[in-house]
Amino acid sequence: MTGKNDAINESLSALMDGEHTELDLRRVLKAAEAEGQESSVMSTWANYHKQEQIHNKELDAVCNDDFLAGIQAAIADEELQMQPPRRQSAFHQFAAKGAMAACFTFVFLIGASQLPFGKAPESVDATLAADSVSPSAVVPSGFELPPLNARTVSSVPSASSNAIIAQPRTTAVVNPREFVLSPEMQERLHRMIMRHTEETSANGGLGVLPFSRVDTLDEPEGR
């Protein structure tokens, strides 16, 4: 109970200071209604007003003790003003809706003109841009960025450049068997890759760049 009175007093104080909220006003009015004609809340409020008027030398101000009715009337007027006009011209409604539609249409046109089209490139472009934002990450452009300590290019495990992993293939070949490469075959494979790269580079348009794919060359003995 004491707490409730403190809250009401605080609300009264806030009302006098002009720092009240809607809750403060409602609290005071509710308390005054509950107490009826002999409301101590209203008498206290009235005294605050008189003191303020004396302080501000507003002695001629009419002090209307009927605060409750006056405040309720003020609240009623404010609510009436906040209500939207019941009638709005059809033209204004149409113009408002049309303006909003035009605005959104314009936004869409501008935004769509900036987007690339095409199925496959969109997914590539998204991560291409992302990769270029983080140049320190060793990850390929245009694709999902794995954690930095993960593989860079391709999530598909690939054979080591120095070890050939033979995998059984399910093909139309009769009785496919696992191909275990002998060291001689591995050496032959390396030579074939080298010859293929030579041919590709000699007939291509990228110069010697394809040789980046070739494994480390063994330095001749004695050098």
The structure tokens listed for 158 are: 């690939």
217 sits near another protein (criterion: CB under 8 A): yes
The minimum distance between CB 103 and another protein, in angstroms, equals 5
> How many chain residues bind another protein (CB under 8 A)?
89
129 sits near another protein (criterion: CB under 8 A): yes
50 sits near another protein (criterion: CB under 8 A): no
How many whole angstroms from its chain centre is CA 78?
Answer: 39
Instruction: Tell me the C-alpha distance between 13 and 29, whole Å.
Output: 14
Which residue, 36 or 222, is less far from another protein as judged by CB?
Answer: 222
In eight-state DSSP terms, residue 162 is T
User: Is residue 42 packed enough to be buried (19+ CB in 10 Å), middle (13-18) or exposed (0-12)?
Assistant: buried
148 sits near another protein (criterion: CB under 8 A): no
Q: Which amino acid, one-letter code, is at 94?
A: F
Phi/psi region, residue 36 (left: phi>0; alpha: psi -120 to 50; beta: rest), is: left
Which residue, 52 or 198, is less far from another protein as judged by CB?
Answer: 198
Q: Scan residues 149-178 and list those touching another protein (CB under 8 A).
A: 150-159, 161, 164-169, 171-178
In the set 116, 136, 147, 221, which binds another protein (CB under 8 A)? 116
199 sits near another protein (criterion: CB under 8 A): yes
